[in-house]
Amino acid sequence: MILLLPIDQLMKPLSRKQVRESMYRLLAAMKLPVTSWQDGGAAKAIISVIAAIFAGFTEIIALAIRANFLDTAEGIWLTLLAYYVYGVTRIEATFASGEVRLVNTGGGIFEFEPGEFICKHSVTGRQYTNVAFFKLEAGQTLTVAIRALEAGSRSSATPGQITKLVTTMRGVTCTNPAPVVGRDGETDPELRERCRDSLGALSPNGPEAAYIYWAKSARRADGSPVNVNRVWVSKASSVGHVTVFVASPNGAVPGTIGDDSTDLGAVDKAIRTRVVPNGVTCTIASAVPHPLPVTCEVWISKEANLSDPQVSSAVNGHIWDYLQTVPIGGHTLYGHSPGYVFRNAIIGQVEASHPLIIKADVPVPAADVGLDESAVPVAAVNSIAVHQV
C-alpha cells in the first residue's frame, strides 16, 4: 500500500526532536531496549547525529516541494520557478543614479578617477560616487554623474538632499539639482503577481493582464528594466481605444513616446508590439504626480535612543514606502470610483515606523485624499514634530 501524505505535511520540515522520537519508536518496535540506554552513551549519540543530518535533509525536501508552487516558492526557488515555468525574469535592484553640481569657490584643483569621489545624503547618510573621471578647476561649476554605493530605493534622493562631501575638497559645495533615483529588487509577492499577469500576455486579444505584464516587464533599448511598478488600464471601449497609465515608485515615468531608450518609450514599444490587437488604438501615458504632504506629531519613548532627525527620517521612510505602492487612481471602495489615499493608512504608517512610538497625531491630511483616475500620490515635504518622552 502506498501512503500519500497531504501536501501541507510534505512542505513542513521535521525538527531534530521529531526525527529522534520517530527513530526511537521504530527501534522500540524492533524490540530494542531503547528506554534503558543511558544519556551520553554511544547509542543515543549516534541517533542524535543521524537525527540532526536527517532533519536538515527534510528542510531541503520541504523547500524543493514548496518551490513547485507559485504561492509557496520563495527567494531563489521562486526566481527559478518564475524563469523556467512562466518565462519571467526577476527584476533586480538598481543603484540610484543622477547628477550632482559641484561649485568650487576656492583655489584648489581636483581630479578624480571613477569611484574616487564620495558624497552623501544629508539626512540618511547614503553615499554616492562618481561614475567617470572629472577635473574641477578653481572657480569652476561642474556637473558630475554619480551612482549610489548601495542598491535600492533607500539611496534615492529628492533635489537638494545630497549636500555632504565625504571626499575632502576645500572650498567646494555640492548639491543634486534633480532627483537621484534607484529601485528595489522585485519582492516575492510582486514577482508572483507578474507571473500571473504573464498568463494574460499569452492571449492574442489584449486582456488587461497583458497590458499590465508588459508595462512592468518592458526593457529599454540597452536591455535594462524600466522602473514601472503600477499600471492602470481603461475599461472596455465601444470605439476600440485603450488608455494605459503607468507609474514608477517615484510617481511619474520619465521618457518620450518613440524613444525606447527611455522608460515611457520602452513601455509604449512593448505594449504596441506585444499586446495591442488589430483594430484597437492604444495611448500610453505617465501617471500624473499628486504631491501629498503630511503634517504630524510623534511621541516616542526615549528608550528608542534616537535623535529627532532619525525619528523624522524613519517616519518619512514609511510614508514614502507606502505612497509608492498606492495604485494609480488610489484605493477604491468595492471597486467604485473615485479612489483615495486613506488617512488612516497614513496614520498607520507613521505609528509603524518604530515600535517605541507611543502616539501619532496627523492633522494633515485631515481626511481621505481623492485622486483622479490618472493620478498617483508622491511624497512631498513633510512636517514632522518629534516629542521624546
Q: Which three cell numbers, joined as nine digits, stand for 81?
A: 520557478
- Same domain flag for 297 and 280: no
Measured over the CA atoms of residue 321, residue 381, residue 94 and residue 226, the dihedral's sign is positive
pLDDT in tens, 136-194: 999 999 999 999 999 988 898 888 999 999 999 999 999 999 889 888 899 999 999 99
- Same domain flag for 216 and 160: no
Percent of the chain with pLDDT over 90: 65
Position 95 scores a pLDDT of 92
DSSP helix/strand/coil, 183: coil
Residue 281's domain spans which residues?
A: 201-286
* CA–CA dist 170, 118 (Å, integer): 14
Give domain status of residue 167, yes or no.
yes
Measured over the CA atoms of residue 188, residue 193, residue 194 and residue 199, the dihedral's sign is positive
Report DSSP state, residue 167: S
Position 203 scores a pLDDT of 66
Position 302 scores a pLDDT of 94
- Same domain flag for 303 and 253: no
Position 380 scores a pLDDT of 86
**Segment 366-389 mean pLDDT:** 93
- Same domain flag for 121 and 160: yes
Give domain status of residue 317, yes or no.
yes
Does residue 4 carry a pLDDT above 70? no
Give domain status of residue 229, yes or no.
yes
Measured over the CA atoms of residue 303, residue 308, residue 310 and residue 314, the dihedral's sign is positive
The domain that holds 142 is classified in CATH as 2.40.30
Position 348 scores a pLDDT of 95
Position 1 scores a pLDDT of 43
**Segment 117-146 mean pLDDT:** 95
Does residue 235 carry a pLDDT above 90? no
Does residue 2 carry a pLDDT above 90? no
* Residues 6+ away with beta carbon under 8 Å from 188: 74, 75, 78
- Same domain flag for 214 and 166: no
Residue among 228, 223, 225 at smallest CA distance from 211: 228
- Same domain flag for 153 and 165: yes
Query: How many structural domains are present in the chain?
Result: 4
Give the mean pLDDT of the chain. 90
Of 216 and 206, more confident: 216
- Same domain flag for 299 and 361: yes
Domain boundary among 136, 159, 175: 175
Position 352 scores a pLDDT of 94
* CA–CA dist 222, 224 (Å, integer): 6
Give domain status of residue 71, yes or no.
no
Q: Where do the H-state alpha helices sit in the chain?
A: 7-10, 16-29, 42-66, 75-81, 188-200, 208-217, 263-274, 308-323, 343-351
Give domain status of residue 28, yes or no.
yes
- Read off φ and ψ for residue 368, nearest 5 degrees: -60, 140
Percent of the chain with pLDDT over 70: 97
Does residue 335 carry a pLDDT above 70? no
Does residue 217 carry a pLDDT above 70? yes
Position 300 scores a pLDDT of 95
Q: What is the 3-state secondary structure (H, E, C) of 200-268?
A: HCCCCCCCHHHHHHHHHHCECCCCCECCCCEEEECCCCCCCEEEEEEEECCECCCCCCCCCCCHHHHHH
**Segment 243-248 mean pLDDT:** 96
pTM: 0.70
pLDDT in tens, 50-99: 999 988 888 888 888 899 999 999 999 999 999 999 999 999 998 999 99
Q: Which three cell numbers, joined as nine digits, stand for 217?
A: 516587464
Does residue 5 carry a pLDDT above 90? no
Position 153 scores a pLDDT of 86
Give domain status of residue 123, yes or no.
yes
Distances (CA, A) of 87 to 78, 129, 242: 12, 35, 26
Domain boundary among 267, 286, 305: 286
Domain boundary among 262, 286, 310: 286
Give domain status of residue 73, yes or no.
no
Give domain status of residue 190, yes or no.
no
- Same domain flag for 212 and 240: yes
- Read off φ and ψ for residue 371, nearest 5 degrees: -125, 145
- Read off φ and ψ for residue 377, nearest 5 degrees: -70, 140
- Same domain flag for 276 and 295: no
- Same domain flag for 114 and 146: yes
Position 158 scores a pLDDT of 84
- Same domain flag for 13 and 33: yes
- Same domain flag for 328 and 376: yes
